[in-house]
Structure 1
Amino acid sequence: MSTRKHVVYWHETEPVVPEPPLRENVDCDVAVVGGGYTGLWAAHFLKEAEPALDIRVVEAEFAGHGASGRADGFVTPTIGKDIQALVKEFGTRRALEASQAVGRSVLEIGRFTRRNKIDAEYEANDYLMVASTQAQLRRLRTDRDLATRIAGREQPPVLSPADAQEVIGSPAVLGAMRTGGALVNPFKLARGVARVVKERGVVVHENTPVLRVRPGVRPQVVTPGGTITADKVIVAANARQFTFQQFRNKTVPLWSYAMVSEPLTTEQLGRIAWEGREGMVEAKTFLTCARFTADNRLLWAGGPAFYFWGRDMRRRRMNDQRAYRALAEEFGRFFPMWRDLKFTYTYGGVMDITRDYAPHFGALPGGNIFYGYGFNGNGIAATHTGGKVLRDLVLGKDSEFSRLLYVDDAQRSARDFPPEPLLYVGARATTRLMEWKESRA
């Protein structure tokens, strides 16, 4: 297998000319820390609601550099990773409200790209949750029953092996369930949202790492080149949320990996039934997934999720050969007809994981530093909804979004992770436990 290490495929699909870094002390109404989806959508919806607001976004690299621009591009109506736990905690009505809000975001993102002429390669072609083991098949049926109960109406059936393989002709697929969703080029989407907010007057400072957020009557965002003093601050740093003292133990960064092939030939495409170009997602927590890109490359991603001692996010972790060996082995099981396919991109990215596998939004004590984080690898649509949540929290509006189960209150807040070495031991043990439980489900 020929590989090209350390290169994120999506980053090569659109050139980047970064905005100038912050080089002075400035004042504004709202400062946003993080130039990924959460921060950009929050800036967009705030500016849409209150055009006169002076908003500044600061990003350590360039907009879309992090998880937003290296995601696998599945736009799904997903809330974190454990909908069953959310139903148990909040009940079916509130889980339905949140699911419907994120489901609307799937459609609204498509409309946003068309309205603003963003070539994000948006394809509204659903995705398939597939089972490759009997345990996963049981999970699919359980998930379908839960979705029926939440929605109050019958959901699409779990497809038989024969019917599922007529959609995606993998011999590993034992069953599947069609779910509404879309595919997108995540980097082009992030860059497109950044362009739109800049056109509407939001100032974006790229190559501007944030050293700390200093609380106060008017909180301050401190960077190497200058300080932003603002009425309100939004911290939306995704996998780097833990780098701010206020969120130190709220998230851990888990690594996920991907391989992207050379473009498939017509002959290679003809070896398998996959006419609808649906995304494919395996029905387990640490899943593998597959999809076509706009130029008919195959993206194969997921597999083992690694936590490295001390929340290590250094770039060298992209080259962990254990991950690529595991992905290659699973790829051979799902797609033996493509053993001659060459993967030309291999790379990794980091997800922000919370203890309850669900997002958290709210305000810190003092009421002028807001936050949104914890998408657990399922953030493209959920961050769009989250932008509306942050808009209404910052503007002090009581709305359907400020009341979503996303939002922390006296009864719900993100539980802390333990310090090292307990964190390292616990992360490894939890991963093994979840894999064991899913094998016996």
Structure 2
Amino acid sequence: MTSRKHVVYWHDTESVVPSPPLREDTGCDVAIVGGGYTGLWTACFLKEAEPDLDICIVEAKHCGYGASGRADGFVTPTIGKDIQALVKEFGTERARAASQAVGRSILEIGRFLRRNGIDAEYEASDYLMVATDQAQLRRLREDRELAGLIAGRDQPELLNAAQAQAVIGSPALLGAIRTGGALVNPFKLARGLARVVKERGVTVYENTPVLRVVPGAHPVVVTPGGRVTADKVVIAANAQQFTFAPFRDRTVPVWSYALVSEPLTDEQRGRIAWPGREGMVEAKTFLTCARFTADNRLLWAGGPALYFFGRDLRKRRMNDPRAYRQLHTCFQRFFPMWQDVRFAYAYGGAIDITRDYAPHFGSLPAGNVFYGYGFNGNGIAATHTGGKVLRDLMLGRDTEYARLLYVDDRHRMARRFPPEPLLSVGAQVTTRMLERKEARL
């Protein structure tokens, strides 16, 4: 059997020459902590709106190293994790406005890539939300009704087993809903976006971990090599958001895992009907998903989201054998005809989870430190929308983006998680409760 590389497949698709790290004290108008999608889109939209702004991005590794460059590459209209919870909390109209904004972002990302000559392997393709048991079929029906309500148009068609298997020939499929979206190489998207913001005059310091942000009239971003004093700061650290004191108990990092195969042969590819190369996502909280890469590999990802005591983000957690065993067992259930497919890559990465499974944007009480986090593993399109939210909040604009349900006020902040050891125990209990709930749907 081919040995697996415990490195992120996407990171092997493009070489990186990092920007120099910060080595002295400096100042700017806006300092952004985090070189993932949220920070990069925010810098991009701020520069478009106010070209004279002096903006710098401070990134611990290199842009796209973290969750942005480890994503599975599904560009979807998903907001957070649970459409039913969003409608219940915010109502149909606000959920519709947010959904439509994220839907526009899918198209706008494609245009951005074409306009700036970024080959991020963008495929404008629907994806299938699929059901493999009766509980998931019931969830599909419920989500279908809500999707039609939010979109303000007819409900999407619910495909039966034969129709679903004609699109993706897995014998496990009992039904599916076709949803608009796209596929992308997430790392090439992040690296291309970083190139564009640098060309527009944004200073990017890579290999520069942030130790802390000191509040004040002019907040200070403290790093090992120097300090950045700014008029405004954005903290957009995704899975690392909890390392900053105001967010310590408002988000937790959980690990998601992926397997990527060797390139499939024509004979292997011909064993299964999958003519449109659509992505596939299972209709459950701890979902599995599948897609083809540009070089004809199969990506198989998801499974249980693992939380490690003390918010453990050490690199060795990427190699947890439990996750890969469960992923491979599930893969064999979906695709028994591919027993000889060998997985060349096995890797993981942490995502940020909030208690309401929804994103949060806003500013801390002083009004000059802003934040954006909480994409719950569904951030490629939503971070693009979030960059516009942060732009308008920082520039004091009263726009549709500044009024989206994303935006916190004094009545809505991300609810706190309990401290350890209750957090670890609660994560296990919540996982079991969600699994039982989905089985009863």
Q: Under TM normalisation by the shorter chain, which class is it?
A: over 0.9
For residue 382 of structure 2, what is the aligned residue in structure 1?
382
* TM-fit CA distance, 1:215: 0.1
For residue 82 of structure 1, what is the aligned residue in structure 2?
82
**Distance in structure 2 (CA, Å) of the matches to 1:20 and 1:95:** 42
Preserved contact between residue 3 and residue 346 of structure 1 (Cα < 8 Å): no
Structure 2's unaligned 5+ residue stretches are none
For residue 335 of structure 1, what is the aligned residue in structure 2?
335
**Distance in structure 2 (CA, Å) of the matches to 1:220 and 1:199:** 25
* TM-fit CA distance, 1:156: 1.7
**Distance in structure 2 (CA, Å) of the matches to 1:301 and 1:17:** 28
Q: Is 1:174 the counterpart of 2:174 in the alignment?
A: yes
Preserved contact between residue 99 and residue 150 of structure 2 (Cα < 8 Å): no
Give the 3-state SS of the residue equivalent to 1:311 in structure 2: coil
For residue 49 of structure 2, what is the aligned residue in structure 1?
49
Kindly provide the amino acid, as one letter, of the partner of residue 49 in structure 1: A
For residue 431 of structure 2, what is the aligned residue in structure 1?
431
Give per-residue Cα distances to partners, 1:377-400, cap 9 Å, x unaligned.
000000000000000011111100
**Distance in structure 1 (CA, Å) of the matches to 2:245 and 2:307:** 20
Preserved contact between residue 5 and residue 319 of structure 1 (Cα < 8 Å): no
- Normalised to the residue count of structure 1, the TM-score between the two structures is 0.99
Give the 3-state SS of the residue equivalent to 2:27 in structure 1: strand
Report runs of 4+ in structure 1 exceeding 3 Å deviation.
Answer: none
- Normalised to the residue count of structure 2, the TM-score between the two structures is 0.99
* TM-fit CA distance, 1:49: 0.3
Kindly provide the amino acid, as one letter, of the partner of residue 227 in structure 1: R
* TM-fit CA distance, 1:365: 0.5
Q: Is 1:68 the counterpart of 2:68 in the alignment?
A: yes
Kindly provide the amino acid, as one letter, of the partner of residue 295 in structure 1: D
* TM-fit CA distance, 1:90: 1.0
Give the 3-state SS of the residue equivalent to 1:138 in structure 2: helix
Give per-residue Cα distances to partners, 1:34-74, cap 9 Å, x unaligned.
00000000000000000000000000000000000000000
**Distance in structure 1 (CA, Å) of the matches to 2:127 and 2:106:** 12
**Distance in structure 1 (CA, Å) of the matches to 2:326 and 2:149:** 36
Give per-residue Cα distances to partners, 1:316-339, cap 9 Å, x unaligned.
001111000000000000000111
For residue 7 of structure 1, what is the aligned residue in structure 2?
7
For residue 238 of structure 1, what is the aligned residue in structure 2?
238
Preserved contact between residue 279 and residue 289 of structure 2 (Cα < 8 Å): yes
* TM-fit CA distance, 1:3: 3.5
For residue 422 of structure 1, what is the aligned residue in structure 2?
422
For residue 145 of structure 1, what is the aligned residue in structure 2?
145
* TM-fit CA distance, 1:5: 3.5
Give per-residue Cα distances to partners, 1:163-195, cap 9 Å, x unaligned.
000000000000000000000000000000000
* TM-fit CA distance, 1:82: 1.2
Preserved contact between residue 262 and residue 341 of structure 1 (Cα < 8 Å): yes
Taking only the aligned residue pairs, the percentage that are identical comes to 78
For residue 365 of structure 2, what is the aligned residue in structure 1?
365
**Distance in structure 1 (CA, Å) of the matches to 2:148 and 2:6:** 42
**Distance in structure 2 (CA, Å) of the matches to 1:266 and 1:5:** 24
Give the 3-state SS of the residue equivalent to 1:418 in structure 2: coil
Kindly provide the amino acid, as one letter, of the partner of residue 161 in structure 1: A
**Distance in structure 1 (CA, Å) of the matches to 2:337 and 2:140:** 26
* TM-fit CA distance, 1:151: 2.1
Q: How many residues align?
A: 441
For residue 273 of structure 2, what is the aligned residue in structure 1?
273
Preserved contact between residue 68 and residue 186 of structure 1 (Cα < 8 Å): yes
Give the 3-state SS of the residue equivalent to 1:389 in structure 2: helix
Considering only aligned residues, what root-mean-square deviation do their CA atoms show, in Å?
0.6
Give per-residue Cα distances to partners, 1:87-143, cap 9 Å, x unaligned.
111110000000000000000000000000001000001100000011001100000
* TM-fit CA distance, 1:152: 2.5
For residue 411 of structure 1, what is the aligned residue in structure 2?
411
**Distance in structure 2 (CA, Å) of the matches to 1:274 and 1:433:** 34
**Distance in structure 2 (CA, Å) of the matches to 1:86 and 1:160:** 27
Q: Describe the shift of the 1:107–1:139 C-alpha distance in structure 2 as closer, same or farther (beyond 3 A).
A: same
**Distance in structure 1 (CA, Å) of the matches to 2:192 and 2:261:** 25
Q: How does 1:104-253 map to 2 (within 5 A)?
A: 104-253=104-253
**Distance in structure 1 (CA, Å) of the matches to 2:2 and 2:160:** 36
**Distance in structure 2 (CA, Å) of the matches to 1:404 and 1:384:** 14
**Distance in structure 1 (CA, Å) of the matches to 2:85 and 2:296:** 37
